[in-house]
Amino acid sequence: MTRPVTQGGAAVRDAVIEALGRVLDPELDEPITDLGFVTACDIGASGGVRVRLRLPTYFCAPNFVFLMVADARDAVMGVPGVSEVEVVVEDHFAADDINAGVAEGRGFVDTFGHLAASELDQLRADFLRKAVLVATHRACQPLLDAGCSVGELAAKRLGEAHRGAEAERLRDRRMQLGLPAGANSPLVVDPVTGDPISGEAMGRHLGRARLTRVSVEANGEICRNLLRDRYGETLVSIGRRRISATGDTGCVAVAGGHSEN
């Protein structure tokens, strides 16, 4: 049965879980906690933290996994009261290489040598651009539902998007890419150049954004099902987290899924 964290204090525990909640699957643009990649988080009295990650398949793409393990380690290291961090992924074909590389502070190329074509900055940027497309469609849909025409979206400003998580997500992803993200910036921009999309090109751009959204959301659902099938978990909702009711030895188990890529 899953146990609450008792070591390290509730404040540190909550801060660590919150930090992990800001670590995203680079492809799905969802928190690894919500997806279920965090299976346990053990916090010692001296502030040492050990995080265990798991994925829906044994063959999930190692570059994606490397990003998540490294991002999780960096996120937890920034929590006040944490003295040291170990993040490990389990049940993955490249787990030993990834865990050792991240623990030693090596990059992806240094970790995988000739098997790695390059570092992962470009991959991260490519997925951020996909995230911008997805968030753009989600931000535009309420305006379209309210009667705004596709062509009229070209005149809309980012500040006119309905307030909420999706509008904030759109602003954040655009800021990360260095794209215009102020309230007076165009609502719809090219995710590569940041140029506004013209009225005549808007329909084609929104079509691309919708297809990207459908693909990402379908992939996310497939991932959740794969993880559930792999580990046979029964999920119960606790607050904003999906917590495993059948965790093994972890203090905190958060269940969900990931895709095979």
pLDDT one-digit tens code per residue, 57-72: 999 999 999 999 999 9
Please give the residue that has the higher pLDDT: either 233 or 41. Answer: 41
H or E stretch at 49 = strand 48-53
- β-strand partners of 196: 189
Q: Is 104 exposed, middle or buried (0-12, 13-18, 19+ CB in 10 A)?
A: exposed
Q: pLDDT tens digits for 177-204?
A: 999 999 999 999 999 999 999 999 999 9
Average pLDDT, rounded, for the chain:
88
| pTM: predicted TM-score of the whole model, two decimal places | 0.85
Note the pLDDT of residue 259.
43
User: pLDDT-based confidence at 255, cuts 50/70/90?
Assistant: very low
- Given a cut of 50, whether residue 137 has pLDDT beyond it is yes
- Tell me the pLDDT tens digit for each residue of 4-35: 333 457 889 899 999 999 999 999 999 999 99
